[in-house]
Structure 1
Amino acid sequence: MNAPAKFVVPGATRDIADFAANLQYGDIPDDLILNAKQCIRDSLGCGAFGAPTPWVQAVVRTVNLLGQKPTASAWGMKVKADPLGAAFINGTAAQGYELDDCHDQSMSHYGAGVIPAVIACSEGAFGAFTGKDMIRATVAGYELGTRIGNTVSPSAFHRGFHPCGLTSTFGSAAAIAKLLDLDTDQYVSALGLAGSQAAGLMAAQFGAMAKRFHSGKASQNGIIAALCAREGLTGVRDVLEAPYGGFCSTYSSDYDLKFATEGLGTDWEMRHNGFKRYSSLASSQTTVDALRAIREKAGIRGEDVEKVRVGTTEMVYVHCGWPYVPNGETIGAQMNLPYTGAVTLLEGNAFIDQYTDEKLVDPRIIDLANRIEVFVDPELDAREKHQMRAVRVTVTMKDGAEHFHEQTYRSGHWRNPMSEEALKEKFRDLAGRQLTADAVAQIERIIDNLENEEAPAIALGAALQQVR
């Protein structure tokens, strides 16, 4: 059968596909090369730490049932899988404890979608890839994923769709299309096929392991999209802009395609990606910062707090402002602002140790969480998108004293960034809980020198399986 004739549809989809298909390593600014390496390292640490969690182990058992040829590594465990299975496992693990990176405007976590796909496909199944190849693929994935995410944010979220399942699928597809060196027409199809697989429901945040699973599926589905496009399967050629059944028109009531194409190659959206200091959803982390600031400045104790009022945006209120009710699921606490605020006041942090099974039902934490009120502040709600997580926090003590703090950007936001050393310390902490000290040091060395490495994914995969 003859190959189908090329049918070109001009528009935003083709514009961004053409940009990514022609992206060369030399086109990438130095700060984005560092950013890409930080994203890879951060995702590896999150994934290694997340490996033993019940939700990741359920995915491992599922992948084992499929019985494909194992060529790629499952991070933080002595398990191998085919690239699709490894991306599924590692994407779930990287999103597995709410520690993965975050792009605020598009409300998604591209590290858990993009990095597992890039690593899995670079471990030998599809050829040998250099560190520069991996960086270039990572940048393409983040740049297109974030831009596509911006077109439908926050409307898609308010409709009940989980951005990680939606736009990280595009990010993964864009990364693997770049890794496999697809041309513009193939790239268009990869994006179209990604759009046909984009899925995820926000109701998972209330207490379902599925919330972590969305990123694993996005990572896996992006690989499928790119591979199918390489083999000639066509996707929707105007997947972003199609007025009926297109990605934007389906998932958003007020999408804006300018976010996909404006400033391509000059105004890098990847620069607006940030990292997480705490083990909770990003929308509660401005509150954590505010409460820690009040705690430090006023020297208060959580036990002496009478009540807390948190004024914020409608997005934060909907996302995490609901009353805390223990349901046996870690995710239910990590996605809840009253719980996270209460444990921060009582313990001074909201990291891994604040979300143990015992603490989820601790009467002290629950009692204080019940006295934290979250409400929509109209002035904050009217601000620009990049301030969508701003909070005004008032803590009232049992003696009547009041303490106030306003926080616009969380720690780790690109406007309030974590330092390179802080990011390295986070990686060492997370990876070191699951991997040997030698493995942690080796991974760090490889990432530091990634642009000069000839076949780094194989060495990374081996190090990521050196379990303590």
Structure 2
Amino acid sequence: MGCLSREQEVVMEITQALAEYVVRTGFADLPAEAVTQAKRAVLDTLGVTLAGSLEPCARIAGEVIAAEGGQPVATVIGQGFKAPPRAAALANGTAAHALDYDDVTSSMRGHPSPPLLPAVLAVGEETGASGRDLITAYVIGFEVQCKVGRGLGQSHYPHGWHATATLGTLGATAAAAKLYGLDVERTRMALGIATSLACGSRQNFGTMTKPLHPGVAAQSGVLAAQLAARGFTADRAAIEAPLGFLRLFSPAQDAQPEKVLPDLGNPLDIVAVGIGVKKYPCCYGTHSALDAILELRERYGFTADDVDWVTVTVPNSGGQPFVKAGAAGGDGSTGDREAPPVGLGPLIHPRPTTGLEGKFSMQYCMAAALLDGSPVLDTFSDQAVRRTEAQALLRRVELVQAAEPAEPGRGWAEVAVTLKNGTTVRTRVDQPRGGPDRPLTWDELVAKYRDCAVRVIGSEATEESLRLIGELEHLSTVSDLTRLTAGRRTAATV
């Protein structure tokens, strides 16, 4: 390396080191806790994918894929047919994120499983992978996308990139390369190809295109590995090079490539940082506040009619408060104060008019919790968001950004409710229920899975799939599980 410092040498080796890690890591190298976390993630993600398969965005994706045809290799979950692996990954990744009910991790400031598991399942069916192969590929993909995420600058997300999609493309590629059995050089090429396939704009939050992001990431991961397997080339340092992934996706030139490799594989982020499982089917940025307002509602016994004003204070995210184009300011007729409605981070819809927008509105989530209690899937229908009482109440919710920043993985929120009798009650939640430090129990995950799955595949297939996921490391072939998740084909996909 001549006169380069050791730090510079390490930075120059990122793509190579990641490829070596993918190839050398096997099931026997995984700690027991990583296997447990992977199984929890499969259970949760498969459940929300099944429920998400009923959503219009997933159905449209399925219709497009069915119309194109192709070899019936991999299951399109919940839609009753098989498709080529890339196509199945696209449909299933879209369905996995359709409800915004899927898991999160602070390592990548996004959703790890929706791009990752659909790629693993599609390629796993194609290659005859076992349950152990699935777990190994999932953990490897998780580690790659999260460790690369450490090297991205803080500017990545505030400038509009959706990390679930950008980093998820690399994770899906690593997992697919593992299942295809690529060697180090071809895995390195696959990762390089993936850097040019990564994309995803946060401007599309609250529309069908947001769940498309992990679908495209899963599809791109499979494509990158397939191309590389056949000798397709890319730059050998595409992640760390001056014009590579890390610097390209750090708009403020704040990439930190030196942070990617020091802990690669030890400790694994899936264990050391962990996964947050969603208790509510909406943006994770609302969950601490939802826990807080539901706690206050239960403790003090007030109803929505008793509430004059709600103030939600959240950590400083480094971004600027904004009003999404088209959001109305206060007019005094519905309880609005003079300041326009504010959005922060991913919560870009202070005045939502659709169910999808409601998932990214702190104002609506607080109003819904006051009106209905704990949010459920039906809370985020267009009809529910457009209710007169919800629209009136959300105009009495303000969102404030504190000077205090969030600690990694701790999206705290403080909620203050002022009642019409002049009393103000408040509480703070430091991490929502379901977060890594406050995990849902296995029984709670099972209950969530049943609620999501039974409406699509019925009780018998739901219970059998639960059994197989519980014994995933002993499963001889992934297809034994995916066949139970097929569901029924609709007229539009015949």
Taking structure 2 as the reference length, the TM-score comes to 0.88
1:191 aligns with: 191
8 Å contact from structure 1 (residues 320, 337) kept in 2: no
| Between 75-84 and 133-142, the greater mean CA deviation after superposition | 75-84
SS in 1 for 2:75: strand
2:383 aligns with: 358
Matched length: 452
- The change in CA–CA distance for 1:264 and 1:321 in structure 2 (over 3 A counts) is closer
How much does 1:467 deviate? Answer: 4.5
Where in structure 2 are the equivalents of 1:58-457 lying within 5 Å?
58-123=60-125, 125=126, 127-152=127-152, 154-205=154-205, 207-243=206-242, 245-252=243-250, 253=252, 254-271=254-271, 272-315=274-317, 317-322=343-348, 324-327=350-353, 329-379=354-404, 381=405, 383-387=406-410, 389-455=411-477, 457=478
How far apart, in 1, do the equivalents of 2:346 and 2:195 lie? 27
Counterpart selection for 2:18 from 16, 19, 39: 16
| Between 139-148 and 251-260, the greater mean CA deviation after superposition | 251-260
How far apart, in 1, do the equivalents of 2:366 and 2:352 lie? 15
In angstroms, what is the RMSD of aligned CA positions? 1.8
SS in 2 for 1:309: strand
The one-letter amino acid paired with 2:299 is K
- The change in CA–CA distance for 1:407 and 1:107 in structure 2 (over 3 A counts) is same
- The change in CA–CA distance for 1:215 and 1:282 in structure 2 (over 3 A counts) is same
SS in 1 for 2:199: coil
- The change in CA–CA distance for 1:66 and 1:153 in structure 2 (over 3 A counts) is farther
8 Å contact from structure 2 (residues 207, 356) kept in 1: yes
Q: Residues 272-326 of structure 1, C-alpha deviation per residue, up to 9 Å, x if partnerless?
A: 2221110111111111111111112222212211111111124385224556334
8 Å contact from structure 2 (residues 116, 172) kept in 1: yes
How far apart, in 2, do the equivalents of 1:68 and 1:40 lie? 27
The one-letter amino acid paired with 1:391 is A
8 Å contact from structure 1 (residues 104, 386) kept in 2: yes
How far apart, in 2, do the equivalents of 1:114 and 1:189 lie? 19
How far apart, in 1, do the equivalents of 2:258 and 2:307 lie? 47
How much does 1:139 deviate? Answer: 0.5
1:5 aligns with: none
Q: Would you say 1:458 and 2:473 are equivalent positions?
A: no
Give ranges in structure 1 of 5+ residues lacking alignment: 1-7
- The change in CA–CA distance for 1:119 and 1:323 in structure 2 (over 3 A counts) is closer
How far apart, in 1, do the equivalents of 2:26 and 2:403 lie? 45
8 Å contact from structure 2 (residues 285, 346) kept in 1: yes
8 Å contact from structure 1 (residues 106, 154) kept in 2: no
How far apart, in 1, do the equivalents of 2:258 and 2:105 lie? 18
Q: Residues 333-392 of structure 1, C-alpha deviation per residue, up to 9 Å, x if partnerless?
A: 10111111110121111221211221110111111111111011002x2x43333x2212
The one-letter amino acid paired with 2:409 is H
8 Å contact from structure 2 (residues 366, 394) kept in 1: yes
| Between 353-362 and 94-103, the greater mean CA deviation after superposition | 353-362
Give ranges in structure 2 of 5+ residues lacking alignment: 1-9, 320-342, 490-494
8 Å contact from structure 1 (residues 321, 375) kept in 2: no
How far apart, in 2, do the equivalents of 1:72 and 1:320 lie? 33
The one-letter amino acid paired with 1:385 is P
1:36 aligns with: 38
Q: Percent identity?
A: 29
The one-letter amino acid paired with 1:293 is E
